[in-house]
Structure 1
């Protein structure tokens, strides 16, 4: 089954007179319809990799294929949800969701229908006419997710979308996102710093090394059932421990890199 294929991808940035390599030889395949979470220490290139898949930047080396077609730039086959909601404050929730559909020249009545349908999908039926400032942080993030889903992308790319939310809202949205994914069958790549979040959401957890970022290992996450509280399942703790054991040395290496950079520029 084809999906996303990341083949020996590297990315080097030029900063003033110096260059640094954010990613080096990343290899990863994401199956169509899979929910994959991506974890790694700060500065390892997680967001850079997501930008490359989104087509917002080009790799220095290697290539990224979606269903066998090379990524050459942004496309409507991919929806992106960032940590910041990026909603238009002068548009209602409904009008924010309709925005991407306007770019596709979807007729007005169809836009309205699809926007209402996707707001209902993320649990916001009845809030169509609210403006962003009238919504909580969690509700604004739901609008952002609905907007990305409304134009029906094959792939949903999410860069720490729940990081700024309180713990209860975050867990509620995690459950909501799993429900939406199960209903829509989208291919999802979800970046997070949280090991618990990665294990709860992901069918697989890809662990990245410290910079330059590579894929260290991919952990298969298998629960007998998603019914009930997964976090109380003994297997949840085992998976969490495994992911942390893979991350521990990478976090220490990233911290050492930060201390070295601080001493050089201090």
Structure 2
């Protein structure tokens, strides 16, 4: 399947998101003045401490939530709600257990009003893309966790979204399956040219996948820095062992460690002092 000729990027402009406080308390500020540009066809990985607002930002881009202030754009169009121009893949597969792999993939096409023959053909194309052609008639309970996540990815790709939003999709998988799916996703991205925002807690995963890695601060979430990743995936057998990869990992870990320390101090200053976290 050839990459699309045109793609849209994402613009996040001065976005703040606050949630009402409990029991008439102060509002909870999840995101504070976040600005971020994801270029058309770019693969951006997003990392940050737990609770920094990564998933909140993804929900805003998906149109599942609205910002307290600021603006979000897909191309030149304001994001005002969910749409089939954005595919979302979560950690949980959310497949329909009564549908086969192919029928699960066809779901979005049904919503779009695509006729039965066309959607079956398209489902077969993306099944081939994710390497699951022999399992088209299998039900989710007959598939491994990695296979089910491939079906979820294929379902999102089937209706050709401009953007694929992925919220820690491999977090529940074992290490070997996770690394295999990371390689698969890079291949799919290179073949389709889809703009991808990938949220992860894994530094190795972010470095392996992203053209750039955006690092968020501790709560309230802001963009701390964005690191371009320049690695050659084509001619290296074990990319993760190269000095270049190790250097990126160390750089991002240093940035994250600083934010985790700040979050720890803010949450429990007494314990932080007692344990020597300064």
Equivalent of 1:14 in 4, 12, 20: 20
Distance 1:245 1:231, change over 3 A: same
1:76-134 Cα distance to aligned partner (Å, 9 max, x none): 11000000000000100000000000000001001111111101100101100000000
Distance in 2 between the 1:13 and 1:100 partners? Answer: 31
Q: Does 1:198 align with 2:169?
A: no
Tell me what 2:265 maps to.
256
- How far the C-alpha of 1:225 sits from its partner, in A, is 4.5
Q: Is the 8 A contact 1:43 1:254 kept in 2?
A: no
Q: Is the 8 A contact 2:8 2:195 kept in 1?
A: no
Tell me what 1:138 maps to.
146
Tell me what 2:126 maps to.
118
Q: Is the 8 A contact 1:9 1:60 kept in 2?
A: yes
Distance in 2 between the 1:80 and 1:148 partners? Answer: 7
Distance in 2 between the 1:2 and 1:96 partners? Answer: 26
Distance in 1 between the 2:131 and 2:235 partners? Answer: 20
Distance in 1 between the 2:142 and 2:21 partners? Answer: 41
Q: Is the 8 A contact 1:97 1:150 kept in 2?
A: yes
- How far the C-alpha of 1:249 sits from its partner, in A, is 1.1
Distance in 1 between the 2:112 and 2:266 partners? Answer: 45
Name which of structure 1's ranges 228-237 and 57-66 shifts more when overlaid on structure 2: 228-237
Q: Secondary structure at the match of 2:148?
A: helix
Distance in 2 between the 1:176 and 1:225 partners? Answer: 12
Q: Which runs of 5+ in 2 are unaligned?
A: 1-6, 272-278
- How far the C-alpha of 1:256 sits from its partner, in A, is 3.0
- How far the C-alpha of 1:15 sits from its partner, in A, is 3.5
Distance in 2 between the 1:204 and 1:187 partners? Answer: 12
- How far the C-alpha of 1:258 sits from its partner, in A, is 3.7
Q: Does 1:84 align with 2:85?
A: no
Aligned residues: 261
Distance in 1 between the 2:250 and 2:119 partners? Answer: 45
Q: Secondary structure at the match of 1:146?
A: helix
Tell me what 1:157 maps to.
165
Tell me what 1:234 maps to.
243
Distance in 1 between the 2:96 and 2:232 partners? Answer: 42
Tell me what 2:178 maps to.
170
Q: Which runs of 5+ in 1 are unaligned?
A: none
- How far the C-alpha of 1:30 sits from its partner, in A, is 0.4
- How far the C-alpha of 1:68 sits from its partner, in A, is 1.3
Normalising by structure 2, we get a TM-score of 0.91
Q: Secondary structure at the match of 1:5?
A: strand
Considering only aligned residues, what root-mean-square deviation do their CA atoms show, in Å?
Answer: 1.4
Q: Secondary structure at the match of 2:20?
A: strand
Tell me what 1:28 maps to.
36
- How far the C-alpha of 1:230 sits from its partner, in A, is 1.4
Q: Secondary structure at the match of 1:217?
A: strand
Q: Does 1:109 align with 2:89?
A: no
Normalising by structure 1, we get a TM-score of 0.95
Tell me what 2:227 maps to.
219
Q: Secondary structure at the match of 1:22?
A: strand
